[in-house]
Amino acid sequence: MIDAEAGLLFFGGIIVGGAFGIIGSKYVTLQYMIKDAEKPDCLDENPESYIESLKSDYNWTKISLGGLVLVAALLFLLMVAIIESA
């Protein structure tokens, strides 16, 4: 039974790691998009609205990363509990 649980935790770790990669790349991309949009040579017709939209997406991405860190920590604690109970 421990082997099945360890396998599920392993695949859970792969899923969490993949999500870290996707959300982390979005986080970094939004940082650079905000920096580029704040430059004076921005060609957007309404740069303030565009920057606010980017900052809103950036904040939600930051919250998502925080939640993902929490899920990873809980997954780690679950793994430790299973190993200790064996």
Question: What pTM, to 2 d.p., does this model score?
Answer: 0.73
Whole-number average pLDDT of the chain:
84
Give the pair of three-digit tokens for residue 73: 């920590």
Share of the chain above pLDDT 90, in %: 27
Q: What is the pLDDT of residue 2?
A: 58
Give yes or no for a contact between 34 and 58, defined as CB atoms under 8 angstroms apart. yes
Average pLDDT score over residue span 55-74: 91
